[in-house]
Structure 1
């Protein structure tokens, strides 16, 4: 079995990308096989790879590719999360120029990866969605762990909390914060997970602290599986942009507009949204790029038929 190692700019690490036509149906869910691969990654100096993605031709004429994502966790694997950077990695590994229509099997999202003149891509989530249906509790703001937060489900469920609630007023303060902010955010995230019926130590929901400068430009810092995210997840940028379109949410209070330049510790992320009369038509994250680090890496994967 062979795979590619692909790194999308802005991601906390690379993705191990496997072509689905080389595996029997359901093979990615084999826990023991995945543990074998993880042990092999550790042995070969690739232990920093904690994302696995499987792609193949879509069975639907509405899409070109379909992909499934697995997040490697310290105690196992999470099959429920989405990862926009890993989706982009699959498109790069497939060698598709685009536009490439992708169905994300894990989350049900329909995504189009569109080439840009400068060699980057726009990753566009296509709807439509009723804006209020993006709120899993039905409320734009919930009180969790002593803080007003917004729970928004778009790509991945996110918890957005105003950074000023922690005494953080500027992007510099937010990006320079350490465990004194990380630990309270993790506690809020765990409480939000329980509210949503998820395990407190699972990969979901994600959480991010958000603020805005004097011109209304948002700045944000999010938490990844292993700590602070170096930039912002692609799904996080999309979810934040969607949340801005929902009146009453924390992001909507802090930022406004259909085009955003989101400041993150890893640089600025440009996004746009199409929304009208309470309906969100699409959300796009612009200027994304992925690099193939290794081609056709041989894996210790035993091919066998599964249920």
Structure 2
């Protein structure tokens, strides 16, 4: 079997990790691209033994970068979630944790010329249309990965990366509340269907017989919850305009409980067929939009609702907490989310070539040569 080499960086971004590629180094058409990414990750085996994946949703993610033609952005970030157990690739969502590595990767790949001290990289998330500023530490015009910043879910400390998002409302549907309601009832469970950075279905943990403080391991062992949750998620996806989402990772699902460690709210986030070990950044943004908007399912959990013009919302999750800072206003009961951001870290883990079977991607109809 001949193998085709593909240049890549392997990076941790936030609480996720995966390969980062130049988009131009990968197939253009989605079907061939999906096949190549399945091979890169090693999908189809629970441990991804034949690829770079780590056997969980947060380690089966891919970032693809290119120069942007957007009038504001400098870099386009195209994301793929490889669904390892199903041997599928979902190009519909974005990932805010992997996004943390996009600025450093763009500098490492030569897409951005760094400044001495700090470099701000303007990024367009292609999957959702969100616009993000990423502040990267670049003393001496080189990416600095070492520093004092700590994020829950990652051991040790690293250089801080500040992410500020705009244009997040209606990321996939064009509306903050795609069903037209702030609360829907599906199969006897009251939920809020929200679209801000990530389409989400949000419910109270107690309505599923959960405390909302369970560990990831405990939740993943409670398959009766998933059997109850998944039909609700699928119906919510239909009502949100996505059609049949039984094979798609959006909308994501989250459950809420009252904070118990000094935060704003306790939450567990599902990807959607297992629990996130910490919390997704895009999920945190969606949850914040739900909390800040009057009349949602969060209103009975978070009281009083945070007031503007800025608010820091702390989401307690299985590994600690995630802080989201929002710049917003409520006008006539409607949320105007001007900017929303968080602090993340990233680290370059490896670089070189990843190899895939040549039959997956041929050039001009001929076989690829191994190197």
For Structure 1 versus Structure 2, the TM-score category normalised by the shorter chain is 0.7 to 0.9
Instruction: For residue 183 of structure 1, give the secondary structure of its aligned residue in structure 2.
Output: helix
**Contact 1:17-1:93 within 8 A present in 2 as well:** yes
5+ residue gaps in structure 2? 1-5, 108-113, 138-147, 150-158, 366-371
Secondary structure at the aligned position of 2:269 is classed as strand
Moved more, 118-127 or 208-217: 208-217
Of the structure 1 ranges 207-216 and 160-169, higher mean CA displacement relative to structure 2 is found in 207-216
Return closer, same or farther for 1:173/1:94 CA change in 2, 3 Å cut-off: closer
- Alignment correspondent of 2:350: 294
Matches of 2:87 and 2:216 in 1, distance apart?
Answer: 30
Partner of 1:269: 322
Q: How far 1:201 sits from its partner (Å)? A: 2.9
Indicate how the Cα distance of structure 1 residues 68 and 225 shifts in structure 2: closer, same or farther if over 3 A, else same.
Answer: same
TM-score norm. by structure 1 comes to 0.86
For each residue in 1:38-79, what CA deviation from the matched residue of structure 2 results, as whole angstroms up to 9, or x when unmatched? 449642464534212210121234112111111112142111
Q: How many residues align?
A: 302
Q: Which residue of 17, 21, 26 corresponds with 2:20?
A: 17
Higher relative contact order (CA 8 A, sep 6+): 1
The answer for the alignment partner of 2:70 in structure 1 is 60
Bigger drift between 60-69 and 103-112 goes to 60-69
* Greater Cα radius of gyration, structure 1 or 2: 2
Over residues 120-179 of structure 1, what are the superposed CA-to-partner deviations in whole Å (9 max), with x where a residue is unaligned?
Answer: 12222113859x930001111000121000000111210000112123346358985441
1:70 aligns with 2:80: yes
Asked if the contact 1:24/1:303 (under 8 Å) is kept, the reply is no
Q: CA deviation at 1:186?
A: 2.7
Matching of residues 1-307 of structure 1 within 5 Å: 1-11=6-16, 14-23=17-26, 25-26=28-29, 30-39=33-42, 42-44=49-51, 46=53, 48=55, 49-73=59-83, 74-95=86-107, 98-115=119-136, 118=149, 119-127=159-167, 129=169, 133-169=175-211, 171=213, 176-177=218-219, 178-179=221-222, 180-196=224-240, 197-213=243-259, 217-255=264-302, 256-257=305-306, 258-276=311-329, 277=331, 278=334, 279-285=336-342, 287-300=343-356, 302=361, 304=363
Q: Residues of 2 paired with 1:269 and 1:16: CA distance?
A: 24
C-alpha contact (below 8 Å) 1:120/1:289 kept by paired residues: yes
C-alpha RMSD of the superposition: 2.9
Compared with structure 1, are the counterparts of its residues 20 and 269 closer, same or farther at alpha carbon in structure 2 (3 Å cutoff)? same
